[in-house]
Amino acid sequence: MGFYAVQSLNALSFSMLLLLTGLGLSVVLNLMNFVNLTHGSFFLLGAYVGVYWLASGAPWWLAFPVAFAAAGLAGFLLERFPFRQFYARTHLMQVLLTYGLSVIFADLMRWGFGAQILSPEIPEALRGVVFIMDMPFPIYRLFIIGFGAALAFALWFVIDRTIWGAVVRACVTDRGFVETLGLDTRRIFTAVLVISAGLGGISGALGAGILSAYPGLDEEVLILALIVVVAGGLGTFRGTVLSALLLGFAMTFSKVWVPEFSNVVALAIMAALLVALPEGLVAKKVRQV
Amino acid sequence: MSSIADGTGRVETRPASERRSLPLAARSALLVLAAAVPLLFAGDYQLRFLAEILIIGTAVLSLDLLVGFGGLVSLGHAVFFGGAAYVAAVASQALGADIVVMLVVGIATGMASALLMGVVVMRTIALFFLILSLIVGQIVWEVVFHWREVTGGADGLRGFPVLTLHTGFATIPLNTGVALYLASLVLALAAWLAARSFVNAPIGRALLGTRERQLRMSALGYSIPRIRLMALVASGGIAGAAGALYPFVNQYVGPNAVHWTMSAMMIIMLVIGGVGSLYGAFIGSAIYLGIQTYVSSYTDRWQLVVGLVFVLTVMIMPKGVVAGLKAAFGRRPSEEGRS
Amino acid sequence: MSANAVPALSIEGVAKSFGGLKVLSDVSVTLGQGECLGLIGPNGAGKTTLFNIVTGFLIPDQGRVAFAGEDITRARPDARVRTGLVRTFQKSMAFPELSVRENLALAARSRTGEGYGWFGSGKAVAAADEAADALLTRAQLRERAELPVAGLSYGEQRIVDVLVSLAMRPRVLLLDEPTAGLSRAEGEHLVEVVRALGDGVSTILIAHDLDIVFGVCDRVAVLDLGRLIACDTPDAIKAHEGAQAAYLGATLGEAA
Cβ separation of A289 and B215 shorter than 8 Å? yes
The residue-averaged pLDDT of B114-143 equals 90
Contacts of C52 in chain A (CB under 8 A): 288-289
Residue of B5, B271, B307 lying closest to A104 (CB–CB):
B307
Identify the residue among B64, B135, B300 best suited for mutation to test binding to A, counting A beta carbons within 10 A and taking the highest: B135
Give the model confidence (pLDDT) of A12-31 as tens digits. Answer: 999 999 999 999 998 888 88
Element (H, E) at A66: helix A63-80
How many residues in chain B? Answer: 339
Q: Does C16 touch chain A (CB under 8 A)?
A: no
d(CA A279, CA B196): 33
Across chain B, what does the average pLDDT equal? 86
Q: Does C115 touch chain B (CB under 8 A)?
A: yes
The residue-averaged pLDDT of C96-111 equals 88
Q: Which residues of A touch C (CB under 8 A)?
A: 285, 287-289
Q: How many CB atoms lie within 10 A of CB C184?
A: 12
Identify the DSSP state of B69. Answer: I
Give the model confidence (pLDDT) of B52-73 as tens digits. Answer: 999 999 999 999 999 999 999 9
Give the model confidence (pLDDT) of B169-208 as tens digits. Answer: 888 888 888 999 999 999 999 999 999 999 989 999 899 8
Cβ separation of A289 and C52 shorter than 8 Å? yes
Ordered alpha helix ranges (H), chain B: 16-19, 24-41, 44-64, 70, 78-95, 99-121, 126-146, 148-151, 177-200, 202-212, 214-219, 224-250, 260-273, 280-294, 302-316, 321-328, 333-338
The pLDDT score that the predictor gives to residue C250 is 56
Q: Does C112 touch chain B (CB under 8 A)?
A: no
Cβ separation of A288 and C89 shorter than 8 Å? no
Domain boundaries, chain B: 45-258
Cβ separation of B13 and C110 shorter than 8 Å? no
The residue-averaged pLDDT of C215-230 equals 89
The pLDDT score that the predictor gives to residue C194 is 85
What's the N-to-C CA distance of chain C in angstroms? Answer: 30
C244: closest CA of chain B, how far (Å)? 34
Q: Considering only residues C251 and C231, tell me which one the structure prediction assigns the higher pLDDT.
A: C231
Q: Does B173 touch chain A (CB under 8 A)?
A: no
**For chain B, percent of residues with pLDDT exceeding 90:** 54
The pLDDT score that the predictor gives to residue A285 is 52
The residue-averaged pLDDT of B306-313 equals 92
The pLDDT score that the predictor gives to residue A45 is 95
Cβ separation of B230 and C118 shorter than 8 Å? yes
Q: Does C150 touch chain B (CB under 8 A)?
A: no
Residue of C77, C119, C128 lying closest to B219 (CB–CB):
C77
Residue of B2, B136, B303 lying closest to A103 (CB–CB):
B303
Cβ separation of C116 and B216 shorter than 8 Å? no
B8 pLDDT band, cuts 50/70/90, is very low
Rounded (5°) CA angle B113-B116-B118: 105
The residue-averaged pLDDT of A244-261 equals 88
B142 pLDDT band, cuts 50/70/90, is very high
The pLDDT score that the predictor gives to residue A286 is 46
Cβ separation of A91 and B127 shorter than 8 Å? yes
Q: What is the DSSP string of B81-145?
A: HHHHHHHHHHHHHHH--BHHHHHHHHHHHHHHHHHHHHHHHTT--HHHHHHHHHHHHHHHHHHHH
Q: Which residues of B touch C (CB under 8 A)?
A: 10, 13, 197-198, 201-206, 209, 212-213, 215-224, 226-227, 230, 234
Identify the residue among C78, C90, C149, C160 best suited for mutation to test binding to B, counting B beta carbons within 10 A and taking the highest: C78
Give the model confidence (pLDDT) of B86-97 as tens digits. Answer: 999 999 998 888
Cβ separation of C97 and B216 shorter than 8 Å? no
- SS3 for A35? coil
Cβ separation of B215 and C93 shorter than 8 Å? yes
Give the model confidence (pLDDT) of A182-207 as tens digits. Answer: 777 788 889 889 999 999 999 999 99
CB-defined contacts A:B, below 8 A? 115
Angle (deg, nearest 10), helices A237-257 and A139-161: 160
pLDDT > 90? residue B234 = yes
The pLDDT score that the predictor gives to residue A280 is 80
B40: closest CA of chain A, how far (Å)? 37
Q: Which residues contact A256 (CB under 8 A, 6 or more apart)?
A: A7
Pairing of strands C70-71, C85-87: unpaired
d(CA B26, CA B20): 11
Residue of B4, B142, B304 lying closest to A108 (CB–CB):
B304
Q: Does B71 touch chain A (CB under 8 A)?
A: yes
Q: Which amino acid is at C246?
A: A
Taking a C-beta distance cutoff of 8 angstroms, is the pair C15, C62 a contact? yes
A231: closest CA of chain B, how far (Å)? 8
pLDDT > 60? residue A113 = yes
Q: How many CB atoms lie within 10 A of CB A161?
A: 10
Identify the residue among C110, C174, C175 best suited for mutation to test binding to B, counting B beta carbons within 10 A and taking the highest: C110
What ipTM did this prediction achieve?
0.87
- CA torsion through residues A266, A269, A274, A275, sign: positive
- SS3 for B181? helix
